[in-house]
Amino acid sequence: MKRLLAGFLLGVVMAVGPAAAQNGPLRIEITEGVIEPMPFAVPDFVATSPAAAQAARDISRVIAADLSGTGLFREIPASAHIGKVTDFDAPIQFADWKAVNAQALITGSVSQSGNRLTVKFRVWDVFAGTELGTGLQFAGAVDGWRRMAHKVADTVYSRITGEGGYFDSRVVFVSESGPKNDRRKRLAIMDYDGANVQYLTDSSAIVLAPRFSPTGDRILYTSYETGFPRIFLMDVGKVRRKQLPTPEGTMSFSPRFSPDGRKVVYSLTRGGNTDLYEMDIRSGKSRRLTNSPSIETAPSFSPDGRQIVFESDRSGTQQLYIMPAGGGEARRISFGQGRYGTPVWSPRGDLIAFTKQNKGRFHIGVMRTDGSEERLLTASFLDEGPTWAPNGRVIMFTRATRGAAGRSSLYTVDITGRNLRQVRTPDGASDPSWSPLQK
């Protein structure tokens, strides 16, 4: 009887159910998508006068290079364009850009008055047929056209991805020239893409590990000009430097600014033991943060300034630890195979980049601040010294090739491990430090 009743009910449900199943709209859930560069088009910006024509072309090319260089976008070449933009204020023929599968379109104009350039631009969502944000304009000196182009690209990047850009930023690094056994090292600074290289020091003394201040106007670095490694502070604008006061007979190195720019945390070797110290830049007073017979070095502040991540061999092998900014008990966060070093806290605060040596190869990797979700992004004969882009999405590092003719170069990689690229520099380059976005 029960079976008969169940069968009857099932029949009723099957007969009535489908008809009553969907009263509202059809509902589906999408959980799988694709990850690929977004196609975009940047037709040459409209020059409002013949004098601005070259700048208009150059600015358009730098914007395209910035966006394509992220790996998140793919430029549709001008040869494939159907539509032409000859008037910045004319309505956009979206069908022309849809036809070439451009999902984003950047239009702009450049005008020049004397030594002053003005760049206007708009970003369009082609398939939605709408503008992303509103039109914007930058103005500046003619020789600052690259910075204006970077700023446009930063804005476009931000409007499409929702994250800040990193194009209007600079990188300080150690420029290396000469053979390996007689290598000359100089501090140099350049745009993030390798343009506008300028040298800050001569090659009379070995220089190491430059680090930008949070405002990008000062640099800390280590120099051997006294015979021992000492920390120097340089004003980038005036190219003026001073040595930070550290005790005689000690070696100080591996400095890094606190997020407020007032303090420096660094390593100091005294009597064969290396510990971490903190110095107030204004007063020059130092305070010891660690007291261990092991080697503690490569400190890096968290963005909120409350914690410091550093490397130590206190457990027998080189591992990463986090401790309160004022010193205190440290907890180990790296537990994988191999040795970990040069940790750097992401500007977003969510990840720590590091160098890892394992099975004869070097890797650049990232992990959560609790040590979880370790992800190795690169692998080579020698990768080391990661530094974060201002938006925390890209890492720059040093890659060296083996052999007597080995050369150091700078590379960038996305935090997903995609888009590994070399940064063009005139000579060998190492120890990069990425500045914040310029004001």
Partner 1 sequence: MQTGTKISGIAHLLLIGWAVFGGSFDTEPLPFEVHDVSVISAEEFAAMTARPATPDVAAEPEAPAPPEAPVESPDLAAATEAVPAQDAPDLSTPPEIEAAPEPAPEIPVPDVAPDDTPPVPVQPEQDVAVLTPLPVPSRPESRAVDRVAPQPVAPPPPEARPDEVTSPAVTPDEGGETRQAPKEQTAPEAATDRIITEADKGDEVAPSASLRPRARPARVARREPKPAEKAPDAQSAVKAALAEALGGGAASPDPAPSGPPLTAGEKDALRVAVSNCWNVGSLSTEALRTTVVVSVRMNRDGRPDAGSIRMLSSTGGSQAAAQQAFGAARRAIIRCGANGYKLPPDKYDRWRDIEMTFNPERMRIK
Binding stretches for partner 1 (CB under 8 A): 10, 13-14, 17-38, 71-74, 98, 103, 125, 127-129, 132, 160-163, 348, 350, 363, 365, 375-381, 393, 399, 401-402, 407, 409, 411, 413, 416-420, 422, 424
Q: Smaller CB distance to partner 1: residue 188 or 234? A: 188
CB 413 to partner 1: min, Å = 8
User: How many whole angstroms separate alpha carbon 17 and alpha carbon 25?
Assistant: 16
Q: How near is the Cβ of 43 to partner 1 at its closest, in Å? A: 20
From the list 300, 388, 311, the residue with the least C-alpha distance to 356 is: 311
The two three-digit tokens of residue 193, written as one number: 């893409």
User: In terms of CB distance, is 135 or 417 closer to partner 1?
Assistant: 417
Nearest CB to partner 1, comparing residues 146 and 348: 348
CB proximity list for 271: less than 8 A, separation 6 or greater:
none
Largest distance between two CA atoms of the chain: 100
Q: How far is the CB of 222 from partner 1 (least distance, A)?
A: 27
Nearer to partner 1, 127 or 199 (CB): 127
H or E segment and range at residue 98: helix 94-99
Nearer to partner 1, 1 or 20 (CB): 20
Q: How far is the CB of 37 from partner 1 (least distance, A)?
A: 6
- Nearest residue (CB) to partner 1, 269 versus 358: 358
What phi and psi, each to the nearest 5 degrees, are found at residue 265?
-105, 135
Q: CB 76 → partner 1: shortest distance, Å?
A: 12
Cβ of residue 174: shortest distance to partner 1, in angstroms? 17
β strands within 283-427, DSSP E: 286-288, 296-301, 307-312, 319-324, 331-332, 339-345, 351-358, 361-368, 375-376, 382-388, 394-400, 408-414, 421-423
125, containing H or E segment: strand 116-125
CA-wise closest residue to 251 among 269, 272, 265, 231: 269
Please state, in angstroms and rounded to a whole number, the distance separating the CA atoms of residues 100 and 390: 33
DSSP state of 237: T
Contact 384, 398 (CB under 8 A): yes
- In the bound complex, what is the minimum distance in angstroms from residue 245's beta carbon to partner 1? 41
Contact 84, 107 (CB under 8 A): no
Question: Tokens 């400190």 appear where?
Answer: 299
Token output for 224: 């051997």
**Close Cβ partners of 376 (under 8 Å, ≥ 6 residues apart):** 356, 363, 364, 365, 417
Q: What is the DSSP letter of 216?
A: S
| φ, ψ at 45 (rounded to 5°) | -60, 150
Considering the complex, what minimum distance in angstroms separates the CB of residue 371 from partner 1? 18
In whole angstroms, the minimum distance from the beta carbon of 319 to partner 1 comes to 19
Q: Which is nearer to partner 1, 287 or 418 (CB)?
A: 418
Nearer to partner 1, 29 or 329 (CB): 29
Comparison of 46 and 377: residue with beta carbon closer to partner 1: 377
Smallest distance, partner 1 to C-beta of residue 82, A: 16
Cβ nearer to partner 1, comparing 4 with 19:
19
DSSP label of 217: S
Q: Is 222 helix (H, G, I), strand (E, B) or coil?
A: strand
